[in-house]
Amino acid sequence: MSDVTVIGLGPMGSAMARTFLAAGHDVTVWNRTASKADPLVAEGARRAAEPVTGELLVISQISYQAMYDSLGEARLDGRTVVNLSSGTPAELREAARWVAERGGTLITAGIMVPPPGIGQPGAYTFYSGPKEALDRHAGTLEALSAVTYVGEDPGLAMMFYQAQLFVFWSSLTSFMYAAALLGTAGVRPDALVPFVRELHADLASDGPMGYIKILGEELGSGVYPGDENSLHMQAVGMGHVVETLRAAGLETTVPEALHRLFARADAEGRGDEGIGTVVESIRKP
C-alpha cells in the first residue's frame, strides 16, 4: 500500500482520507484548522505538522488560492500534487506552473460525486496533466473513484468537470420549474418523477429520442436537420412555456433566458434548422 497525504479536511477531504484508510493506505492528514484532523487521527491517520509531507499530496480545498496559502513557500521537489479543488481552467494552468516552479508536478482533477459517493461504484474523477505522473499514482487514486484521464492540458479536468456540472445543475433546475408549475395545479412533485425519469432514459438511448447521441453527431458535423422538428417551432413553444409559468405566478429568469437564446437563433435565420443550430449562437455571443 502507498503513502498519501490529504490536505483539506472538509466533508470531501475527510471522506477521501477515510476511503484511503479503508483501502489500507498509510494516510497523513493536514488542515488549516488543526482540530478537524482529530477524528481521522483517532481512526488511524497520522497528523502532519506541515502540509508538504510525503510524495503524494491530495488536496481538497475550497479554491486554488487555499492551496497557495497552505503550501506557502515550501519546496515541492519530486512530489506529485493532485488538486481536486474548484477553479477556472486558467487558474489550474497557472497553478501547474506554480507547482512546477517549486519542483513538483500538478495533476488537476474534478471528482464527479458528492462526499458519500467517494469510493462507491459508479464514482469517477476527471484528471489532466502529465500522464506519467498520474499513472504512477493511479493505483492509489483508484480507491476514491475510477481514474478518467482527459489530457495533458491542466485546464481540461476542470472543463470536463464544469461541463458535467452545468448539465447536472440545469437539468435539476428545469425539474424544479416543472414541479413548481404542476404544483400550482395541486399536483405533487412525485407524480412527475416517472415521466422525467423516462425522458432522461430516452435522451441517453440510441432510439429516436436519443438526443444526446443525435446532438453529439450534429454538433460534430455542423449540420442540424430540421425538416421534422424545426427550431422555429421550438422557439414558439418555449415562448408558451414562459407565458404559462408567468401566468402561474412563478419566477421565470431561466426559462426567459432559454427563450431568448432560441429566439435569437431563429432571428439569425436558422429557424428552419433543428434545435442543434442553437450551438452556433452559443459559440458566437
Which pLDDT score, from 0 to 100, does residue 1 have?
61
| Calculated CA dihedral for residues 29, 30, 36, 42, nearest 10 degrees | 30
| Residue 2 confidence (pLDDT) | 74
Which pLDDT does position 54 carry in this prediction?
92
Q: Is the pTM of this model over 0.75?
A: yes
What is the full per-residue pLDDT of the chain (285 aa) written as tens digits? 679 999 999 999 999 999 999 999 999 999 999 999 999 999 999 999 999 999 999 999 999 999 999 999 999 999 999 999 999 999 999 999 999 999 999 999 999 999 999 999 999 999 999 999 999 999 999 999 999 999 999 999 999 999 999 999 999 999 999 999 999 999 999 999 999 999 999 999 998 899 999 999 999 999 999 988 899 999 999 999 999 999 999 999 999 999 999 999 999 999 999 999 999 999 998
φ, ψ of residue 208 in degrees (nearest 5): -65, -20
The pLDDT of residue 174 is 97
Closest CA to 10 of 55, 48, 63, 56: 63
Rounded to whole angstroms, how far apart are CA atoms 65 and 95?
9
- The domains found in the chain, sorted by start residue, are 3-152 (3.40.50.720), 160-283 (1.10.1040.10)
Spatial separation of the C-alpha atoms in residues 192 and 189, rounded to whole Å = 6
Residue 210 in grid coordinates: 436519443
CB-based burial label for 158 (10 Å; 0-12, 13-18, 19+): buried
Q: Are 108 and 130 in contact (CB under 8 A)?
A: no
Closest CA to 113 of 203, 27, 15, 216: 15
Grid cell for residue 143: 480507491
